[in-house]
Each structure stands twice: as C-alpha cells, then as structure tokens.
Structure 1
C-alpha cells in the first residue's frame, strides 16, 4: 500500500502560495492528484484558466474563490468545484493563514493570463 508521509512530501512555492504535494503519478496514482495549498493572510490569487476540473475543500482559515465572474466566500469544511475551462483565483480574506485540500485528475494543466501553459510539479 503506497503511503505518502507528510514529512516527505515535496513543497513548492508559487504566486504567494505554498503547495504540499501528496498524491500524483510519481507517488503511485494513475488517476488523481491531491495537494494542500496554504495562503498567508492578505494573499490575492493569480487568475489562471484551468484545463481540467479542480475541487477544493477548505480546512483552515477563510478564502474567497473566484470562478469566472462569480465569487464565493468559503469557511472551513466548505467545498467547491471549478469546471474545466474556467478562470479561477483564490484570495485569503482572513487574518489567519488558510489551507485547502485540492484534487485534480492526472494530466491537469493551466494557462496563465499571458498564455503560458503550466503543468504544476505538485500535480505531475
């Protein structure tokens, strides 16, 4: 049984966020990627278009999730799904750090506003 130990999970930092990568092809998954995203208070997310579906569960703090022209405030325990092709960003609207568990299918990629295609290392 593959077990990914928290102490051994790689951590990546990008766009004022920290990504701890747990489940991905490199750790034995063939269909799913799962990571934790941490945002410091006052973080304004960088908008990007996702090419595959993405699901979020807020576990600590508070965030505002922007999906296209809609936005929703999330509190701990809330979940949200962003459809493929949508433009998303996450802001930490609270005074404490926020943490989310995020999952996507293997093969996930995104496009930044300048058209740069990104396959994040925490999802590959």
Structure 2
C-alpha cells in the first residue's frame, strides 16, 4: 500500500527504544526500509555495527550517542549518516527523542559482544 498511516505501522521494542515499521520487505517494499525510532529519556542504546548504511533524521527531542567512537548530539532537523560496518550507539537525550530511519533491505547488525541481530523492522 503506498500510503501507510500510523495505525498501520508495526511496533517492536528493544531495550529502551521502540521501532515503528512503516516500510519493509515484509510490508511489500522491494528494497527500502523505514521506521520511526522512539528513544526514552536518558536511555543508553546498544552499540552495534549495521550491515547496511542507515540515515537518521531527528524529528523531536535530542538523540545522542557515538559513531565510530566520536560522540554526537542531534536535535530536530539534523541527520546522522551511519556507514555500513561502523559502530553506532543511539542514546536518548534528557527528554528522549524520535527519528525517522531509512536503510535498505536485509539489514543486520553485530553488537560489541558479537551477537548478530536481524531486526524485524528491517526485514
């Protein structure tokens, strides 16, 4: 379906974050995945290396974290480009934050502990 309403999204949770799937192969997309990321205030994200590039556009609040060992803080309208196989961690700022995230199908991630994740919001 070309129009996806919030009521049509599928919600997943991992730690202190929610992932609301809007576009993915499981919903009919051939190549693209897109979801709304919601991070709770003060939450510390899971450091991981994604297999595919990702782009995060901050919609509200503040998202902090690290990309390739470099710390960042992003506010609405700012974008984070995450290259494939570069470690990233997304944390919630004092009031938490939301972002629109896009990538390509087949996204997997490897955590710092070596665990391989296949997130359902990108499949």
TM-score by length of 2: 0.94
1:117 matches 2:120? no
In structure 2, runs of 5+ residues without a counterpart are: none
The structure with the greater share of residues assigned to strand is 2
Aligned partners of 1:32, 1:114: CA distance in 2, in Å? 28
Unaligned segments of structure 1, at least 5 residues: none
Determine the C-alpha separation between the residues in 2 that align with 1:52 and 1:97.
25
Partners of 2:87 and 2:96 in 1: CA distance: 23
Task: Find the counterpart in structure 2 of residue 100 from structure 1.
Answer: 99
The answer as to 2:82 corresponding to 1:82 is yes
Aligned equivalents of 1:75, 1:2: Cα separation in 2: 29
Counterpart CA distance in 2 for 1:80 and 1:7 is 27
SS at 2:3's partner residue? Answer: coil
Task: Count residues with an aligned counterpart.
Answer: 123
Measured after TM superposition, the shift of residue 82 of structure 1 is 0.7
Cα distance in 2 between the residues matched to 1:27 and 1:46: 26
Show structure 1 runs of 4+ deviating over 3 A. none
Q: TM-score, normalised by structure 1?
A: 0.93
Show the counterpart of 1:39: 39
